[in-house]
Amino acid sequence: MARNVKKADARTPLNQLAPMDGIFLSMETPETPAHVGGIAVLDPSTFEDFDFAHFRDFVAERLALCPRFGWRIAQVPLGLDLPYWVDDHEIDYDQHVRRVGLPAPGGPNELADLVGHLYALPLDKSRPLWEMFLIEGLAGGRVALLWKVHHCLMDGESGADLMELLFDISPDPKSRIAGAAQAVDHPTQHETAPSEAPSWRTILDRSMRNAVKRNTKLAQFLLDAATADFDAASLIGLGTAKKEEAEEAPPVPRSSFNGTVSSRRAVAWSAVPLSAVKEVKEQLGVTVNDVLLGLTGGAVRKYLEERGELPEDTLRATVPVSTRQKDDKTVGNQIIDMSVDWATDVADPVERILRIHRDTKRAKTEAAKSGGGLMVAIAEGLAPAAHQLLMQVSTAFIDKAPLPANAVFSNVRMPDMPFYIGGAKIVATIPISVLAPTQGLNITAITYCDEIFFGITADPRLVSDPWILAEASSKSLLDLQAAMKDWSSTVG
């Protein structure tokens, strides 16, 4: 089923990938595909005519309003420069929106096994870099939507555009294309990409000019790194404190989920009440993110302790931080990473959160000063071919190199109301994310209505049963609530 993608007025041409977007593409390997995604569990009983054909047509109509989902990648020969976005003209939605069935009635474990297999498959780079699977056969007549979008196409904040397009606040999926004014006013309508890849002359000219810019930025980074104002942490974007102001941090200890990541993926999930997390947040004077880091840190501690593998020093989590300004809906990534103390060496749940809160404040300040550290320097200072070579070389020493962190934790907030997709009510949302070469674990939290869902993405070779971690994240809240009673009486 082929459909023409409605083309927008050219306002601001967007044709070449930004450096940070390019790095997600050029450093991708078969073992570490760089797409992000999620599962939406749907109740189709809220819309009488919900079926696969209806869903496919719904997706085709809505995504026609967002030109970026009709773009494909045009590589520059030999990786001498960043690739270009090219309008694919005509999308075959049958290649992007697919139907899969589970033997009914499918439960969470069966759904997770299927999703892990589908999510591990890389996206086809000859087509626009996204795909969806409507999974039927779930218990209770429910269905699940699995979506995958390449990280070079969007980050967590710009991913809100996808929700804005697909999500409705009522079970009546009204056409948005019918309202021409509404379609024109949609911010993503200002995105454009050329119909064809640039000419050889243009590619050569831009490659030469961009090479000069990269060399200048790389030289500046090396000069900054050589000055006395930067410590070793600043080189990997984990801090910029002057040496005389900061104590030397211990190296990140290795855990069982820190090893060479394979191409396999496993997923699991659990949920906690948002109201309970907010209550702890108010009592302790911390943030929701601090509480979630404390809950997941407690889960990781319990997981490793039961296996006799808990390191004496605390594990650390990489936490992506958005630098995107409000109302900025441009394509691509605007994020930097900060490294946060996960306090896995602290048994008391309250003290764990308080320590995480203190360290997060430090990490935010240092991440803002660092401007992204080594990752930004690589993205802006090296050509894609050099990115790939760097990845190949680092892979050879991956088990000996210092760890930047043990795992990734991120937190995404959705509007506080129920949503519908094609008329079907969303009853649960489960985030799925990427794995780094040395990190076989990613935990992402997403808030939907009055629940916070923990999505576990893992390499099953390094995390044998991610359901244990998912369930431990929820059980950590019970431990925290019990500890809060003792803390309140002590403080009172």
Residue 313 C-alpha from the chain's centroid: 27
Does residue 282 surpass a pLDDT of 70? yes
Res. 378: pLDDT tops 60 = yes
> Which of residues 377 and 12 earns the better pLDDT score?
377
pLDDT score at 108? 96
Q: Of 475, 434, 437, which Cα lies nearest the Cα of 455?
A: 434
Q: Is the pLDDT of residue 177 over 80?
A: no
Q: How many of the other CB atoms lie within 10 Å of CB of 331? A: 22
End-to-end CA distance of the chain: 66
pLDDT of residue 122 exceeding 70? yes
- pLDDT of 155 higher than 70: no
Segment 93-120 mean pLDDT: 96
Measured CA to CA, the distance from residue 109 to residue 468 in angstroms comes to 12
Is the pLDDT score of 397 beyond 80?
no
pLDDT band at residue 159, thresholds of 50, 70 and 90? low
| pLDDT confidence bin for 187, thresholds 50/70/90 | very low
Q: Which helix (H) or strand (E) is 72 found in, with range?
A: strand 71-74
> In the predicted model, is pLDDT for residue 204 greater than 60?
yes
Identified catalytic residue from 35, 96, 150, 151:
151
The tokens of 418 are what? 């129920």
Average pLDDT over residues 315-324: 83
Give the pLDDT confidence score for residue 192 in this predicted structure: 72
Catalytic status, residue 151: yes
Handedness of CA 242, 244, 248, 249 (dihedral sign): negative
Cα→Cα distances 336→119, 230, 236, 250, Å: 25, 18, 11, 22
Residue type at position 37: G
Q: What is the pLDDT of residue 356?
A: 97
Q: Give the confidence band of 174 by pLDDT, cuts at 50, 70, 90.
A: confident
Q: What is the mean pLDDT of residues 236-240?
A: 40
Q: Where are the domains of the chain?
A: 8-205, 211-262+275-410+458-491
Average pLDDT over the chain, rounded to an integer: 85
CA distance 478 to 473: 10
* pLDDT value at residue 228: 44
Tell me which residue of 52, 136, 138, 139 sits closest to 101, measured CA to CA: 136
Higher pLDDT, 300 or 402: 300
> Of 133-137, 240-244, 425-429, where does mean pLDDT reach its minimum?
240-244
* Cβ proximity of 357 and 286 under 8 Å: yes
Q: How confident is the model at residue 100 (pLDDT cuts 50, 70, 90)?
A: very high
pLDDT in the model for residue 465: 94
Between CA 361 and CA 431 the distance in angstroms is 25
Residue 349's pLDDT is what? 97
DSSP state, 326? T
Omega before 67 within 30 of 0, i.e. cis: no
What percentage of the chain carries pLDDT values higher than 90?
59
Judge contact between 202 and 16, C-beta under 8 A: no
- In order of 32, 57, 105, 239, the CA distances from 50 in angstroms are 35, 11, 19, 51
Q: Is the pLDDT of residue 255 over 70?
A: yes
pLDDT in tens, 45-63: 999 999 999 999 999 999 8
CATH of domain 8-205: 3.30.559.10
Between CA 442 and CA 456 the distance in angstroms is 6
Give the list of residues 6+ apart from residue 413 with CB closer than 8 angstroms, or none.
Answer: 446, 447
Report whether pLDDT(173) > 60.
yes
Q: Please state the rounded mean pLDDT for residues 283-295.
A: 97
Distance of alpha carbon 75 from alpha carbon 183, whole angstroms: 31
